[in-house]
Amino acid sequence: MLSIVLLAPLARFAPLSSGARAIAWVLVVALGVFATGLPANAQDAAPQLDAGLVDQVRSLALGKAAESGPTPRVEVVVGQLDPRLRLAPCQRIEPYLPPNVRLWGRSRVGLRCTQGPTAWNVYLPVTVKVWARALVVPAGATAGSVLADADLEEADVDLAAEHTATVLDRKLLVGRTLAQSLKPGQAVRQGHIKLRQWFAAGDTVRLVVAGSGFALEAEGQALTHGMEGHPARVKTEGGRIVTGQPVGERRLEIQL
């Protein structure tokens, strides 16, 4: 491959004399020996993660999780560096947490060489599992099913396996319709449940204004649909436009 790179450009302009060809081949051989004659321990290679470094990465991730206060059981699974990486030899590799990285589910920890001929910095994939009790559907369920109390059971689940939060209160699930199918034993999360529409745009809505030690009620006309978990806009009888949370059938709550 190297001989083609050296000789082909020259051939485009003029044929090589015997002396030039000899010099070119000397360069090819010399460069080839230089490229392959290095000791194995001096060539760039993907670093091997020894047990000590893996323990450091795991401890760093667990320590960061503990900073947020009491947490459920946390497990850190350390992945592997991309085998295509070719890194200079390093006598000391330091793990660190990149800025703004959330150690939840699939994440990463930085590795940098602090003692070696060449400084380098790479990212090591990690998976942070947070185990806690949550409601699951042992037998599974299809999209469109209405959950009954008998469909639900408590089990240990990985809260970090998905982005949306799990639902822990049975009362919030019984009678609700699934927006997607669930596998047997899968935890029920907020994103799995169809949102309820408490009112439609144009409906007359009861406004509940709640503050410290008081609550007022009034009526208004909905300007947007009142979807569960999403703010809605309502025009009051006095002409003001207010925003609040739909909390029930034709009811909007405004917190002061």
Same domain, 202 and 171: no
Residue 163 lies in a domain: yes
Q: Which of 26-35, 89-98, 166-175, 247-256 has the lowest mean pLDDT?
A: 26-35
Pairwise CA distance, residues 232 & 242, whole Å: 8
Residue 138 lies in a domain: yes
Same domain, 24 and 88: no
Question: Which of 130, 153, 169 is the last residue before a domain boundary?
Answer: 130
**Structural domains counted in the chain:** 4
Pairwise CA distance, residues 226 & 62, whole Å: 41
pLDDT digits (tens, 9 = 90+) for 38-54: 233 434 555 568 889 99
Q: Which of 159, 160, 94 shows the shortest CA–CA distance to 126? A: 160
Residue 43 lies in a domain: no
Same domain, 135 and 182: yes
Contact between 241 and 233 under an 8 Å Cβ cutoff? The reply is: yes
Q: For residue 46, how many C-alpha atoms fall within 13 Å in the half-sphere facing its CB?
A: 9
Q: For residue 247, how many C-alpha atoms fall within 13 Å in the half-sphere facing its CB?
A: 13
**Domain of residue 208, CATH code:** 2.30.30.760
Same domain, 144 and 124: no
Q: What is the mean pLDDT of the segment spanning 19-26? A: 42
pLDDT number for residue 72: 73
Residue 46 lies in a domain: no
Residue 45 lies in a domain: no
Same domain, 126 and 55: yes
Same domain, 186 and 136: yes
Residue 11's domain comprises 2-37
- The pTM of this model reads 0.61
Question: Which of 110, 130, 150 is the last residue before a domain boundary?
Answer: 130
Residue 42 lies in a domain: no
Q: What is the mean pLDDT of the segment spanning 86-114? A: 91
Same domain, 56 and 123: yes
